Amino acid sequence: MSEVTGPHHQQQHSPSLFSDNTHEVVDVRHGMFGVHDAGDTSGFGGLTRYVGIPKSSPRPLGGWFDDVVDILDEIMAEHNISGAIESAVVDRGELTLFIAREHLVAVSQALRDDQDLRFELSLGVSGVHYPHDQGRELHAVYHLTSVTHGRSLRLEVAAPETDPTIPSTVSVYPGNDWHERETFDFFGINFTGRDDLTRIEMPDDWPGHPQRKDYPLGGIPVEYKGATIPPADQRRSYS
């Protein structure tokens, strides 16, 4: 996801603010850090920031990127799977494949096992919360590396908050085990197809998922020499 800034009077949700119409604008933010009543004298309060999700890049993607997409399309067709790759995005010289969640395991298997792909190594799973990406609020991101060919790419899978389920890839990349548990712990993404999805850092009875953007800033009040320091969101409001 990318952001651009502009004068306060510019039209909201205008995709033209991104060069070559490459992004879909999903949110407009005003001011700095969402503060509206802090007596800002810096001038940052007049900022307007447009948050956008990149659209699929036009072909040719360049270099080996096209080969990876073509090989994956061919393998998916052999297994009668359509629509596995939702989009292929080239940004800052890196390739990101947005994958339909129901086909994530099949795509991962092909990326690992095909002799022309051989992305044998997954560096883990991380979560992202985009509350304004309607119907796709929760994203899981996978960084894959081909040791054989010396290449790296990224997979991204989205799920709605109303059904935060994504298939587990532990059967393909066993090293994703603890990363899936951490992503579940902090973002509430349920990785299906495994039996031991439990919290890994927060206590088992902890309410909510702390790295979601709608999670309150609060915390546990701290006593210090007889004085009590309240949680952050009770000391100052950022909304």
> Mean pLDDT of all residues in the chain?
85
CA 23 to chain CA centroid, Å, is 15
Q: Are strands 94-99 and 151-159 parallel, antiparallel or unpaired?
A: parallel
Overall average pLDDT of the 169-180 stretch: 97
Q: Which of 49, 17, 16 is nearest to 32 (CA)?
A: 49
pLDDT reading at 12 higher than 50 = no
Tens digits of per-residue pLDDT, 45-90? 778 888 888 889 999 999 999 999 999 999 999 999 999 999 999 9
Determine the pLDDT at residue 6: 39
| Residue 89 to residue 61: CA distance in whole angstroms | 8
Report residue 8's pLDDT band, with 50, 70 and 90 as the boundaries: very low
Overall average pLDDT of the 98-120 stretch: 98
| Residue 139 to residue 158: CA distance in whole angstroms | 4
Domains along the chain with CATH numbers: 2-33+45-54 (no CATH), 65-192 (3.30.460.80)
